A and B are shown apart, each in its own frame.
Chain A
């Protein structure tokens, strides 16, 4: 026993010293291209945006007026900005919760070895691969007043539910959320499916011996084991919500009456069509700060949990 420990220790030490004993060659030239491309371009962009955010500028004319923090103070009194923030929050909570439930359900169903499982998997995952920009006209068509959804509703005798889904403020945001959930459940599902295969089978066996049913096993053993995946998905969802652009821009154009305006679409609207470049830049900086704070907070929450 003692012999083995004394034998193991020097070896481990040797490995630790190994890196010091043999000097590693310099690595800076190797990371330089990545730093120039990514850090260079992105930080340059952020810095420039920061500068533009202090201007009253249309993006083209040379005489931009310096206005200090004026754009920022305006933002806080801008009702559309607060609408966009509210939409982002609601959007994140709803899509995250529903996607988690559905992703989990599909993962469980596929682990239960149903028939046609391979086909179910393909159907749920195909939307992940398809470009939202390509699918946008399909959804505009599907949710149109004379579209397929209303046709189906009338066909099954629920004609009373038929409505202009995209054209009214009450249903436009839910439509955007539906499309997003449709698009991303595949990832949630594949990640949960993979994480479930990591659950210790002997623990499951023990639980079953103790008389735990499927539901009980899922809630008490599998779900807690999936925490890491859930935190990662929450992070992805939160940042995805802040980045949302393609779907609301192409399906509802942020409307009707700003009902589906997000920070991404609002910044675009301000910067490109309306040419309030300075104001758009100030919105961008706020978006960036929120994204960073959220990422750090979620990272922190994830670590806390792991520590426990």
Chain B
């Protein structure tokens, strides 16, 4: 796209690129360097020895998996319904859903807190899973509906002529054909639920239920002000995310960018 012909120009651009990248690299270097400061590797050992540290990971996996399953099932069904089935006032329902896209999660704190305590959901996984899924569904439906819209109607009509009902059309056509878009939905739902901080902060009280985003707070209590241990715990919690990204680079970049255009 851009042609840089002179050697001079190439070198200059390389230098500029390197200078621009330094501020992005710096915090990562600070994190790793700080984690190894003082007692070195022993910082990591100390963090890993803390009873209940593994629990945070298990909890994050439970919450994220539940959110993903819920969002996936509900989204695929709704997108199929909106795109290929007959619904009266279809666009009204769709706009009701789309209006939720702009909702800041902090708005839901007071009502959900009051309702959760009344229903006994407070301090359970559900108190986090349900609102997280609810906030991811509108955009997932928008994206998936657009995708299913682009599949030819004739495909579904042919299936109907052959005697397949909506359920079979869903299982045999929608599920396999939507795989590319499902991957994007999966990625941005995973990152959103894995990285969410506010809902676990407010709705998960017992340490046995808390997710990894609450780890720094937990360690500030555990190691009072030993920065190196806190940074070591940050490194350990960041590793799964970095590994996941590096092994599925394309998918992450596409999924998160698709998720960005809300």
Binding site for B on A (CB under 8 A): 15, 18-19, 22-31, 33-35, 37-49, 52, 59, 102, 105-106, 108-109, 111-112, 114-115, 120, 122-139, 141-142, 147-148, 178, 182, 185-187, 190-191, 194, 196, 199, 204, 208, 214, 217-218, 222, 232-233, 235-236, 239, 242-243, 245-246, 250, 263-264, 267-268, 271-272, 277, 280-281, 284-285, 287-288, 291-292, 294-295
Q: Give 6 new A-B contacts, CB below 8 A, not counting A34-B137, A44-B115.
A: A45-B111, A109-B17, A137-B220, A138-B231, A182-B23, A277-B110
Encoded as 1 (CB less than 8 Å from any A CB) or 0, chain B from 239 to 262 comes to 001101110010011001100111
Please measure, in the bound complex, the distance between the C-alpha atom of A269 and the C-alpha atom of B257, giving whole angstroms: 32
* A34 and B166 in contact, given A232-B261, A271-B110 (Cβ under 8 angstroms): no
Query: Which of B88, B214, B261 is A236 in contact with, Cβ under 8 Å?
Result: B261
Contact of A131 among B194, B231, B246 (CB under 8 A): B194
Among the listed stretches B41-49, B96-104, B175-183, which one makes contact with chain A, having 4 or more residues with CB under 8 Å of it? B96-104
A59 contacts B86, CB within 8 Å?
A: no
Name 9 A/B residue pairs within 8 A (Cβ), A-sorted: A30-B85, A34-B137, A37-B134, A59-B110, A111-B1, A129-B252, A137-B227, A214-B2, A218-B2
- Of all chain A residues, which has the CB nearest B187? A129
**Do A287 and B107 touch (CB < 8 A)?**
yes
Which of B137, B160, B238, B253 is in CB contact (< 8 Å) with A22? B160
Contact A246 B107 (CB under 8 A): no
User: In the bound complex, do residue A114 and residue B257 qualify as a contact, i.e. CB atoms below 8 Å apart?
Assistant: no
Q: Which of A38, A190, A295 contacts B137 (CB 8 A)?
A: A38
Residues in A neighbouring B80, C-beta threshold 8 A: 27, 30
In Å, the complex CA distance between A30 and B70 comes to 14
Q: Closest CB of chain A to B9's CB: distance in Å?
A: 9
Q: Of B1, B115, B252, which is in contact with the most chain A CB atoms at under 10 Å from its CB? A: B1
Q: Is the interface of B mostly helix, strand, loop or mixed?
A: helix
In the complex, chain A residues whose CB is within 8 Å of the CB of B238: 130-131, 134-135
- B-chain residues with CB within 8 Å of residue A126 when the two chains form the complex: 28, 242, 245
Please state if A134 and B138 are interface contacts (CB–CB under 8 Å): no
**Which are the 5 A-B pairs with shortest beta-carbon distances?**
A27-B85, A30-B81, A48-B111, A34-B78, A27-B81
Q: Does B69 contact A (CB under 8 A)?
A: no
